[in-house]
Structure 1
């Protein structure tokens, strides 16, 4: 645009304009031989025509240049508009991508929150396990104490059984049934043992109160042999084949 302004300020252009005015005046006078002073020089009608033609040519050139500049400006404008449109599309795509990333981030945040909750649950479970381990350790200590007590009792029982000895009298075999001490079985001290499979063994006093309730045998729930005192009036009940061995 500055260049175009320079053209309008050109000396040639204004000369052309002035020449046109002079020509009009000359025609008005009607003399082709008249001379006028132009920029300090006297010029003839023909000279003015030449200058007018030159001015018209210069004006045409200026108009062409202006048109070219306008077209160039329009092209530049379109290019800039296209660039702006491209930038707007790029910004729009970037915004969409940013929204997508924000959505992914929100999902990741939910996953992170769930992970934190799982970690907290794990810590709680770990604390519970530690507490249970503490209780279990205490139970193990109690069990060990009980096992030691059982071992001591078994040793005492072995000592007692070692003291007890058979009298040498004939053992009494009983099959499943009820027996009265004094009439069916002599009163005395006996070691009851099973014959074959284990069995339940009971002894009731004269009032019917149970004195003995054992499982004879070597099974998982059996108690093994059992030593007891049979008094007159007691009732012996066995659910299987047993043997009563007299002992001292």
Structure 2
């Protein structure tokens, strides 16, 4: 009986020892789990929940950065497109300026050619007039100028004052009468349709010559 009681007591002691060991082992495991559940986050120990929360916050921040990056990428693309358009406008403007400069140069060249041609035409015209005058002189003909004739009535006149210096063909306006230059020392004729006079008379009027007319006469400039 004593042996049975001793065995029972001994079994009960071992039971409680085993229970105490299990409790201690659970405490050790909890301590180990609690310790290992902590990680180093920014130099501090963080729990699993804190780590999960931090990861979620980082994911949100990453999403915001991604959206911001996409927005900035679009803005950059828009700016590049605007720059390309401005570059095209600049090139078009430069082309217009270049075309204008080329046109101005061509215009200047044409102007030079026109001036050269005009000078050549004037020279040719003068040459033709000279040849005509020479031909007329050779044939005894008088070439009238395109200037307006000067009509002087009967009276006294001074060359350079009443009549410009030059060569003239003098024709009576009507009837007949005397035509004197320098009191007849230079010209002394009867103008008019008369058997004793002449229908026209050609002379060179020099500066200061004195003209005397007893009839109205037309002074026609000639070559």
Q: Under a length normalisation based on structure 2, what TM-score does the superposition of the two structures give?
A: 0.49
Q: Under a length normalisation based on structure 1, what TM-score does the superposition of the two structures give?
A: 0.45
